[in-house]
Structure 1
Amino acid sequence: MTVRRVVPNVRSEAGPESREFYGLLGFEEVMNLGWIMTLASSSDPAAQISFMADDRTAPVTPDLSVEVDDVDAAYAAVRESGAEIVHPLQDEEWGVRRFFVRDPNGRVVNVLGHR
């Protein structure tokens, strides 16, 4: 399994202000679904940060997202390890397949793959 990117998720009600502030550092909006907005570096598109008010289809807001090349293999490995699955594996309408797992530090990780 290969990690494609890691994105911190900041719980925020200040989307426009965050976009403006991080724009000063070279970030540009690359996705905005209303409840989540992702900004990326124009020079390195994998350098990203997301801001979300709430997760629209999950019970909690994840602390970070890890995109992998095989989300089903990641899900199997995590389940086999006995780690706590916070949100089950499912396909989302915006084109990702994902699940949430709690890491040893208590952080919620959104593990995803694009379909």
Structure 2
Amino acid sequence: MSVRRVVPVVRSEAVRETRAFYGLLGFEQVMDLGWIATFASPTVPAAQVSVMASDLTAPVAPDMSVEVDDVDAVYAAVRESGAEIVHPLRDEEWGVRRFFVRDPAGRVVNVLSHR
């Protein structure tokens, strides 16, 4: 298993203003699903930040996203560890397979792979 990228998720009801702010820092918008937008550095594309008000298909909004090369293997390892699964493994219509797990500090981590 390998990690491809880690993206902090900023929760904001002021999505438009937050979007403008990260543009001032040099980020460019690379994804916008309406309820979540992701911004990346044009020179270091894996340097990213996402902004959302709430998650469209999950019961809670994550604090960060971790993209891995094999989400099924990570899901199996996390379940075996006894960690709390907050949102079950599922395929999403926007092309990712993901689940949420709570880390020991109480943060919700969205673990995903692109299909």
TM-score for the superposition, normalised by structure 2: 0.98
Is the contact between residue 19 and residue 51 of structure 2 (CA under 8 Å) also seen in structure 1? no
| Higher deviation after alignment, 81-90 or 20-29 | 20-29
Is the contact between residue 9 and residue 64 of structure 2 (CA under 8 Å) also seen in structure 1? yes
Q: Identity percentage over the alignment?
A: 80
Is the contact between residue 8 and residue 65 of structure 1 (CA under 8 Å) also seen in structure 2? yes
Aligned-residue Cα RMSD (Å) equals: 0.6
State the number of aligned residues.
115
For residue 23 of structure 2, what is the amino acid of its counterpart?
Answer: G
- Equivalent position of 1:98 in the other structure: 98
Shift of 1:17: 1.1
Shift of 1:109: 0.3
Tell me the secondary structure at the aligned position of residue 5 of structure 1. strand
- Equivalent position of 1:77 in the other structure: 77
Shift of 1:114: 0.1
- Equivalent position of 1:22 in the other structure: 22
Shift of 1:44: 0.6
TM-score for the superposition, normalised by structure 1: 0.98
CA deviation vs aligned residue, 1:2-56 (integer Å, no higher than 9, x gap): 0000000011111221121111111011000000000111111100000001100
For residue 7 of structure 1, what is the amino acid of its counterpart?
Answer: V
